[in-house]
Structure 1
Amino acid sequence: MRLHLADPQTVIREILPALGVENALLTAGTADRCNTMTIGWCQAGRLWNLPVCTVYVRPERYTYQFMEERDYFTVSVLPESEKKTMALCGSRSGRDLDKIKECGLTVRYGAGDTPYFAEAEAVLVCRKLYVQDMDPACAAAGEEKILPYYGEKGGWHRIYTGEIVEAYSARPYAK
């Protein structure tokens, strides 16, 4: 699949139906050391009049340290044919296994030399703008819907909002 540089707003509209349903891969790190993980929680849109993407990572996740160390991250939406890749990247830790190698993913680099995958249908390359820990005291309503995501599974997520500085699509949109 060949990715083309595209307008972030166009790619946001393209990937919105996939976020939280088909899932995506969140990746952070460098050419020498990076990690990826399947994410189901992700939003894209506009904030502070900028195109943005927001992702959520628990401190217990191996990817967390890469998110903390780097100013950039990527979100890659893979085609449905990559279900095995999505399953492995969502169930195994990069501490124990080189998931990228195991899945046979082809690494490419965007702004900030941030890794993403050539196999993706769409990619957002983001520069961190805002980082904040989720706080259980701020669960205003619907606690019965929120709290089951915590407890045995781990701690509360850290929120990362990044400005989309590059976007790629398998569809040949003009930039």
Structure 2
Amino acid sequence: MSFKFNEPDIKALDSVLKPFSSVGKEWMLVSSGTSEKYPQYNTMTASWGGFGYLWEKPVAHIYIRPQRHTFKFSEKGELMSLSFFEPGHKKALAYCGKISGKDEDKAANCGLNSVLLERDLIGFKEANLILKCKKLYTSYFKEENFISSQEPEMWYSNKDFHRIYICEILGFYTK
């Protein structure tokens, strides 16, 4: 299965991505790694994130907790991919969200096949859409910056605040 690279114009992105349901309901895989020792990468399931327009660029914002195995790969590299799948892959995505890549090749063990799309950009053969993202900005959530105490109490009882990555969408791959 080969993928076609598409330029990241807004009209094209609007036609292939549903910003709320694609992430919040259907989920995505966030992947980072290197092609130097491929397959040295990790992926994780995300149901938090979003898309918009910032600094005159189409962007994605991605959240990763520091204890996730994907975190160390995301910190090292410049690129990340966001892979989206048809609804029939929800069981595989759930598996990639529960199992650590430190312990096994979780993608392969749930039936997903990683592909090297280009240097340091990993996606999945089964995905129907893969966004190529370049990190622009990153920072941790800070407890003192929350307006309400409800979110830190509900989501961060261990004080393990997410790191946010704002990434430029450089283009996307479709089948």
Q: Normalised by the size of structure 2, how large is the TM-score?
A: 0.87
Q: In the alignment, which residue of structure 2 is the partner of 1:95?
A: 102
Give 1:13-162 correspondences, 5 Å limit: 14-15=16-17, 16=19, 17-30=21-34, 31-141=38-148, 143-152=149-158, 155-162=160-167
Q: Give the CA deviation at 1:75.
A: 0.5
SS at match of 2:23: coil
CA-based RMSD of the aligned residues comes to 1.8
In the aligned structure 2, how far is the partner of 1:32 from the partner of 1:79?
24
In the aligned structure 2, how far is the partner of 1:74 from the partner of 1:51?
14
Alignment of 1:168 with 2:170, yes or no, is no
SS at match of 2:70: helix
| Matched positions, count | 168
Matched-pair identity in %: 33
Q: In the alignment, which residue of structure 2 is the partner of 1:173?
A: none
In the aligned structure 2, how far is the partner of 1:2 from the partner of 1:146?
43
Choose from 6, 11, 22 the match for 2:13: 11
Over 3 Å counting, the alpha-carbon distance change for 1:11 and 1:108 in structure 2 is farther
2:143/2:152 contact within 8 Å kept: no
SS at match of 1:65: helix
Deviations 1:105-127 (A, max 9, x none): 22223454210112112111111
Which gives a bigger RCO, structure 1 or 2 (Cα 8 Å, sep 6+)? Answer: 1
Q: Normalised by the size of structure 1, how large is the TM-score?
A: 0.87
In the aligned structure 1, how far is the partner of 2:15 from the partner of 2:142?
30
SS at match of 1:53: strand
In the aligned structure 2, how far is the partner of 1:62 from the partner of 1:12?
31
Deviations 1:120-174 (A, max 9, x none): 1211111110010111111113x3245311115x60000011111121234xxxx
| Structure 1 portions without partners, runs of 5+ | 171-175
In the aligned structure 2, how far is the partner of 1:144 from the partner of 1:112?
42
Over 3 Å counting, the alpha-carbon distance change for 1:41 and 1:58 in structure 2 is same
| Structure 2 portions without partners, runs of 5+ | none
